[in-house]
Amino acid sequence: MNASSSNVLSSRPNSWRPGQVGVVVLAVLALGILLGYLFHSTSSSGVVAGAPSGSRTTATGSDRLNSTIQPLLERLRSSPNDPDLLTSIGNAYYDQHDYDNAVGYYRRYLDLRPQDVNVRTDMGTAMWYSGNPDGAISQFETALRFQPDYPNTLFNLGIVKWQGKQDREGALESWQKLLTTHPEYSDRQKVEELIQKVQAESK
């Protein structure tokens, strides 16, 4: 996301950024589950497994969200175009799995700073989790026009093309580009496993 965010279907240790790509794809669970994780630039843990299930919050989560977000919304009233506030609110909604609201605040931020690859990737990831693979792919592709080798975006684009569109060729192209442009990629083994799995499916 903005300066406060760092990763994409890399994630946000609490909050997807080129030099900070802490693309941590959660703990390596079963391969089938791992394959579904996307990177979120404001965290350092993978978020979703398999197909997205849409926005959701629990009662406890909702209370926590309200205590976190209400002060930010109050500040936003007097500074409606504050990019830091917009991303902070988007991140708060994202972390509570309220992806539709997260998308709304990310979109407002991107109206101000359209070339921010981190936030655009986060918005694409939120769209995927909301059940909108086409919107996610569109945001990832836009992000790659600004930064063609951004690793979190390449990883997430591959996941969504594979799981959301059954586009195995497109997924392989994205992941192979990731490994070519980032030979020392921290999760290289995982990407190689994904490539092998998708190649096997294609036979």
**CA distance linking residue 37 with residue 178, whole number of Å:** 16
* pTM for the model: 0.75
Domain ranges (residues) in the chain: 8-202
Q: What average pLDDT score do residues 61-70 get?
A: 70
Q: Which CATH number describes the domain made up of 8-202?
A: 1.25.40.10
Tokens of 4: 């406060």
pLDDT in tens, 7-33: 345 544 333 333 333 333 333 333 334
Q: Give the pLDDT confidence score for residue 171 in this predicted structure.
A: 97
**CA distance linking residue 23 with residue 10, whole number of Å:** 4
Lowest mean pLDDT among 1-10, 20-29, 74-83, 191-200: 20-29
**CA distance linking residue 177 with residue 179, whole number of Å:** 5
Other beta carbons within 10 Å of 200: 8
Q: Give the pLDDT confidence score for residue 67 in this predicted structure.
A: 79
Q: What pLDDT band is residue 90 in, cutting at 50, 70 and 90?
A: very high
pLDDT in tens, 124-162: 999 999 999 999 999 999 999 999 999 999 999 999 999
Interior/surface letters 143-172, b for 16+ CB within 10 angstroms, e for the rest: bbeebeebbbbbbbbbbbbbbbeebbebbb
How high is the mean pLDDT of the chain? 78
CA-wise closest residue to 97 among 61, 133, 121 = 61
